[in-house]
């Protein structure tokens, strides 16, 4: 990872001149604080937009009365798929072209396309715009972590990663309550809210962010990324449309074969390309491989939960979107309260102990809803306990999943490990939403919703088993002269 040419970079002479200039009217500290704020705004809005649309589905159905639930599910899936497929290539492009430039480009694209989403006259336009919005999010995510690391000294790198992860988690947790509030006005407001935040962040970021040094290296595998995106889309379409088209229909068979062949081709190409869409050698590390399996399955459960709960509250119990969002809110609050203690426990006792406990609790929330919920509205007695249990599980497992993707890696590979885990998360979410959309599309009754809650629980259990199989994680030996050169942002930071 290259150095950030401003706050920690550029050689001693240039560094001294930069620091002197920054102590002028604007001030070094102000510029650094603004840079961190801009980066975290980008992380927050991209995380919020992953889940916020789920809460708006009931409102969207009123605007697009001919749209099916499986069709609406593509509003979320299109974003997740392009986000997932382009995460790692965009990180390499940021290294080659400069992180500031790529981050601001992603932020501008994300913000601009939010206006198209808000004004979309049809579901087809909305889905296409969401796919492009996912490209913007993918450009922001890896470059944002690189920029943030460059603003912290080496010994405080953990704080930077913690901030980056925590803000993403807060964005995901805030998505449903915030979306419910906005959708009560109009579902288009879930996209309109991005415009002022993104515009202000762009204006401030253009001034405050420092240009990063560019690295020479191979061109990212954009062809592999495109094939991965199309392949995952084919798999998701097979799941989402299988019931309506017929599981033995030529369309479903063709999509299944195309998706499988595309995924096989992507894996084979990744082993040969100098800058692949994902790094096969990392998946040969037991911790990383199992951690990504755990992440994918857990977020499949999260996707199932996010869609099924709001539809249950609004369609079965006939609550308003805003009321449904407020009733879902205790779960994210419990998750936020448990996340920090869980991070400490994961480091102290191991992800193989803490993570499965969280997975079991999250699955317990799904099982509670499966057997406790019925057609009679009873928030306190029937819905709230499942929300609290599931939220505690979410908070317990999230740091364990993040740790499983990074703890066994040397510092210079942490960003890559985080990117792979993010890719698994987005794909898992897209699959979870499509599975539940298919289950509820035919007959959204109590039986179908109970099946959706069982899918949530089952996916969480598989995730917990994968984390348990990791066992104790050995930290890598510190990098030093014997281990080869450190990443440039590490070595430059020592000049501060």
Domain boundaries, the chain: 12-493
Phi, psi dihedrals of residue 212, rounded to the nearest 5°? -100, 155
Contacts of 13 (CB under 8 A, 6+ apart): none
pLDDT of 9 reads: 41
Q: Which of 313-317, 339-343, 465-469 has the lowest mean pLDDT?
A: 339-343
**8 A C-beta contact, residue 230 and residue 263:** no
* CA 99 vs CA 5, 133, 142, 215, 220: distances in Å: 10, 19, 9, 11, 15
- 4 three-class SS: strand
Give, to the nearest 10 degrees, the angle between helix 28-55 and helix 157-185: 50
**Of 419 and 391, which is predicted with more confidence?**
391
Q: Judge whether residue 89 has pLDDT over 90.
A: no
Rg over CA atoms, the chain: 22
Q: What is the pLDDT of residues 419-462, one digit of tens each?
A: 788 889 889 988 998 899 888 876 778 999 999 999 999 999 99
> Cα–Cα distance between 314 and 325 in angstroms, integer?
10
Tokens 């179908």, residue located: 448
pLDDT band at 414 (very low <50, low <70, confident <90, very high): low
- 212 three-class SS: strand
pLDDT of 43 reads: 87
Q: Which two tokens stand for residue 140?
A: 């922001």
Average pLDDT of every residue of the chain = 82
Q: Which of 138-147, 393-402, 475-484, 486-495 has the lowest mean pLDDT?
A: 486-495
> Cα–Cα distance between 473 and 268 in angstroms, integer?
29
Q: What is the pLDDT of residues 149-203, one digit of tens each?
A: 778 877 776 677 667 777 877 787 778 778 888 888 889 999 999 999 999 999 9
Q: Which two tokens stand for residue 167?
A: 């803000």
> Cα–Cα distance between 306 and 391 in angstroms, integer?
12
84 φ/ψ sector (left φ>0, alpha ψ -120 to 50, else beta): alpha
Q: Judge whether residue 127 has pLDDT over 90.
A: yes
pLDDT band at 359 (very low <50, low <70, confident <90, very high): very high
Closest by CA to 453, choosing from 386, 397, 375, is 386
pLDDT of 379 reads: 94
> Cα–Cα distance between 85 and 125 in angstroms, integer?
21
pLDDT of 10 reads: 41
What is the separation, in whole angstroms, between the first and last Cα of the chain? Answer: 18
**Of 196 and 415, which is predicted with more confidence?**
196
Contacts of 168 (CB under 8 A, 6+ apart): 43, 44, 46, 47
pLDDT exceeding 90 applies to what percent of the chain? 31
The average pLDDT across 471-484 equals 55
Q: Which two tokens stand for residue 261?
A: 């062949």
Q: Judge whether residue 406 has pLDDT over 90.
A: no
Contacts of 358 (CB under 8 A, 6+ apart): 342, 392, 393, 394, 395, 396, 397, 398, 400, 464
The average pLDDT across 312-325 equals 89
> Cα–Cα distance between 149 and 177 in angstroms, integer?
30
Phi, psi dihedrals of residue 4, rounded to the nearest 5°? -90, 120
CATH class of 12-493: mainly alpha
Give alpha helix (H) positions in 150-193: 157-185, 189-192
> Cα–Cα distance between 400 and 342 in angstroms, integer?
8
> Cα–Cα distance between 235 and 239 in angstroms, integer?
6
pLDDT of 21 reads: 44
The average pLDDT across 108-137 equals 94
Q: Judge whether residue 221 has pLDDT over 50.
A: yes
Q: What is the pLDDT of residues 225-274, one digit of tens each?
A: 889 889 988 888 888 777 777 888 888 899 999 999 999 999 888 888 88
pLDDT of 327 reads: 92
Number of residues that make up the chain:
496
> Cα–Cα distance between 126 and 195 in angstroms, integer?
16
The average pLDDT across 77-83 equals 89
- 1 three-class SS: coil
- 480 three-class SS: coil
């Amino acid at each position: 990872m290259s150095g950030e040419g401003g706050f920690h970079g550029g050689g001693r002479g240039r560094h001294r001149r930069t620091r002197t200039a920054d102590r002028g009217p604007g001030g070094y500290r102000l510029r650094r604080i603004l840079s961190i704020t801009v980066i975290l705004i980008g992380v927050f809005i991209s995380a919020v937009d992953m889940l916020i649309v789920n809460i708006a589905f009931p409102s969207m159905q009123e605007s697009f009365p001919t749209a099916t639930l499986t069709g609406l599910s593509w509003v979320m899936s299109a974003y997740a798929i392009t986000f997932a497929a382009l995460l790692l290539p965009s990180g390499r492009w940021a290294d080659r072209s400069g992180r500031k430039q790529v981050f601001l480009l992603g932020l501008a694209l994300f913000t601009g396309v939010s206006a198209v989403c808000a004004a979309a006259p049809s579901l087809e336009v909305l889905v296409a715009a969401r796919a492009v919005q996912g490209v913007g999010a993918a450009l922001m995510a890896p470059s944002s972590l690189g920029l943030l690391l460059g603003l912290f000294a080496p010994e405080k790198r953990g704080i930077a990663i913690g901030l980056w992860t925590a803000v993403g988690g807060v964005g995901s947790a805030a998505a449903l309550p915030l979306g419910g509030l906005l959708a009560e006005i109009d579902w288009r407001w879930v996209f309109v809210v991005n415009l002022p935040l993104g515009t202000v962040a762009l204006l401030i970021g253009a001034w405050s962010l420092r240009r990063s040094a560019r690295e020479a290296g191979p061109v990212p595998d954009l062809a592999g990324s495109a094939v991965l995106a199309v392949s995952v889309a084919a798999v998701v379409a097979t799941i989402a449309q299988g019931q309506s088209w017929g599981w033995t229909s030529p369309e479903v068979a063709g999509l299944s074969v195309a998706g499988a062949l595309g995924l096989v081709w992507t894996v084979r190409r990744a082993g040969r390309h100098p800058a692949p869409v994902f790094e096969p050698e990392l998946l040969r590390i037991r911790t990383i491989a199992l951690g990504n399996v755990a992440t994918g399955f857990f977020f499949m459960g999260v996707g199932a939960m996010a869609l099924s709960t709001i539809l249950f509250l609004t369609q079965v119990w006939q609550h308003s979107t805003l009321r449904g969002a407020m009733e879902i809110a205790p779960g994210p609050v419990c998750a936020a309260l448990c996340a920090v203690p869980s991070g400490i426990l994961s480091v102290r006792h191991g992800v193989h102990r803490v993570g499965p406990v969280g997975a079991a609790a999250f699955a317990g929330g799904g099982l509670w809803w499966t057997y406790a919920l019925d057609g009679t509205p009873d928030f306190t007695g029937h819905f709230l306990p499942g929300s609290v249990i599931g939220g505690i599980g979410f908070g317990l497992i999230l740091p364990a999943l993040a740790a499983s993707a990074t703890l066994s890696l040397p510092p210079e590979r942490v960003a890559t490990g985080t990117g792979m885990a993010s890719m698994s998360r987005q794909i898992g979410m897209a699959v979870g939403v499509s599975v539940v959309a298919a289950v509820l599309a035919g007959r959204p009754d109590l039986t179908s919703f109970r099946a959706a809650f069982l899918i949530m629980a089952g996916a969480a259990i598989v995730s917990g088993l994968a984390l348990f199989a990791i066992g104790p994680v050995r930290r890598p030996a510190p990098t030093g002269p014997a281990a080869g050169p450190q990443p440039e942002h590490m070595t430059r930071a020592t000049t501060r």
